[in-house]
Amino acid sequence: MRKLIALFAAAALAVCSLSAQELANFAMGGGQRIVSPEVKDGKVTFRLSANYATRVQLSGNWMANPWTGTEEMTKGPNGVWEITLDAPEPEIYTYNFIVDGVAVNDPLNDKVQRDGTRYLNMLFIPGERSENYYEATKHGTVTYRWYDSPSLGISRRMTVYLPYGYEDNPKQKYPVLYLLHGGGGDEEAWTSMGRAAQIMDNLIEKGLAKPMIVVMPNGNPNQRAANTLGLETITLDRNNPATANAYVTSLVKEIVPFIEKEYRAIPKAESRAIAGLSMGGGHTTSATILFPGVFGYICPLSCGIRDSDHLDSDLQGIKKAGYKLYWIGVGKEDTGAYNGSLILDEALTRNGMPHTLYVSEDAHVWKNWRLYLNTFARLLFK
């Protein structure tokens, strides 16, 4: 009891002011206790306090046109604009408001993701499809790690996910998934929009995926790191044909050895997977054609391949080297990538190479890339 009293007395000693951010947070929403977004009974309501605005719209990526669709919001007597819609199917969506023509984030929603240069509010609709996108009970470690790239002449940042238990099992070695982003993305894309850490945590916790390291490099060879860090980019020599594969070369020749030196990674093809979306799907097909036998699991997403007179011999190189899984994911509304995926599907069949073509709804969107990771990660290293 004496000790408890002493504990209490010491805590009362501090005389710090209420912090600036604390004050600011209390004042949000003009002092009104309004909530946005509010998901309830199959409906979702958005609210924005904007007494002087003449027009407020809601823009959300679940709307019929995810890029330009808007809904008009209505001003209430308290100056709060509001709209209630049927909740879209379970998933994570992004939205913002448009106030007199200007895009505005929802100040009442601190769940935000960055898509390239844009910061967008997230809308979580719970359900079976999205259940692995929420925080699991046991969490892996997400690290921002820098590696030196002699081929590019810069040090570069990557995101490395270590599965729960990695640090406490010093004798265990792990397989590695190299997970690549698309154009406009960077080393934070898969953890921010892709929910990669949450998906892996959930799958591993439920015993649906093997514990694995996930490496998410920056796929823009002129960048040291995400643009948000403000670092200068480098200029690549466009007259050098090797420039076209500068990143893929750094990935296979520099990043893979770095990971296998720095982490307890199993240095075998059957313990290496590569998957990438869009531009990262191109990196996936290029890396496996140029360096056959490095990756045992190959998953190009929303990309496909272009037909050419060397496609068969390129794929034969992969066949000869051996692989465990070739998994193609694409949305059926993603016209170019869908056609490219059919070309890849047919070429693999023609060359007698077992593979899976997984066709989903929708087009070239994160909704699909989360779904693909949540699907193919269960098939890796088994």
CB of 143 to a second copy, least distance (A): 4
Backbone angles phi, psi at 345, to 5 degrees: -55, -50
Site for a second copy in 18-77 (CB under 8 A): 18-25, 28, 48-55, 67
The answer to whether residue 88 forms part of the interface with a second copy (CB under 8 A) is no
Q: Which of 39, 208, 234, 244 binds a second copy (CB under 8 A)?
A: 244
> CB-wise, 303 or 381, nearer to a second copy?
303
The answer to whether residue 306 forms part of the interface with a second copy (CB under 8 A) is yes
> CB-wise, 88 or 107, nearer to a second copy?
107
377 close to 176: Cβ distance less than 8 angstroms: no
Q: Which of 38, 85, 90, 145 binds a second copy (CB under 8 A)?
A: 145
Backbone angles phi, psi at 270, to 5 degrees: -70, -5
The answer to whether residue 269 forms part of the interface with a second copy (CB under 8 A) is no
Residues 34, 28: Cα–Cα separation, whole Å: 9
Three-state SS at 231: coil
With tokens 């899976």, the residue in question is 356
Q: Which two tokens stand for residue 354?
A: 């077992």
Q: Tell me the window of 70-78, 111-119, 205-213, 319-327 that interacts with a second copy (CB under 8 A).
A: 111-119
DSSP string, 244-308: GGHHHHHIIIIIHHHHHHHS-B--SGGGEEEEEETHHHHHHHHHHHHSTTS-SEEEEES------
- Write the burial class of residue 171 (CB in 10 Å: 0-12 exposed, 13-18 middle, 19+ buried): exposed
Closest CA to 283 of 195, 155, 148, 179: 179
Q: Tell me the window of 36-44, 207-215, 303-311, 349-357 that interacts with a second copy (CB under 8 A).
A: 303-311
Site for a second copy in 191-230 (CB under 8 A): 225, 227-230
The answer to whether residue 104 forms part of the interface with a second copy (CB under 8 A) is yes
Residues 92, 197: Cα–Cα separation, whole Å: 15
CB of 113 to a second copy, least distance (A): 10
Q: Which of 278, 328, 374, 376 binds a second copy (CB under 8 A)?
A: 278
Q: Tell me the window of 37-45, 101-109, 208-216, 266-274 that interacts with a second copy (CB under 8 A).
A: 101-109
CB of 100 to a second copy, least distance (A): 5
The answer to whether residue 239 forms part of the interface with a second copy (CB under 8 A) is no
> CB-wise, 203 or 305, nearer to a second copy?
305
- Whole-angstrom CA distances from 15 to 9, 12, 38 are 13, 8, 37
Site for a second copy in 348-377 (CB under 8 A): 364-365
Q: Which of 34, 273, 274, 289 binds a second copy (CB under 8 A)?
A: 289
The angle at the Cα of 306, spanning 158 to 257, to the nearest 5 degrees, equals 30
CB of 89 to a second copy, least distance (A): 19
Q: Which of 40, 118, 332, 382 binds a second copy (CB under 8 A)?
A: 118
CB of 356 to a second copy, least distance (A): 19
Who's near 47: CB < 8 A, 6+ residues apart?
Answer: 34, 35, 36, 38, 80, 81, 82, 108
Binding mask 159-198 for a second copy (x = CB under 8 A): --------xx-------------xxxx-------------
- The helix or strand, by DSSP H or E, that contains position 317, with its residue range, turns out to be helix 311-321
The answer to whether residue 17 forms part of the interface with a second copy (CB under 8 A) is yes
Q: Which of 266, 269, 290, 359 binds a second copy (CB under 8 A)?
A: 290
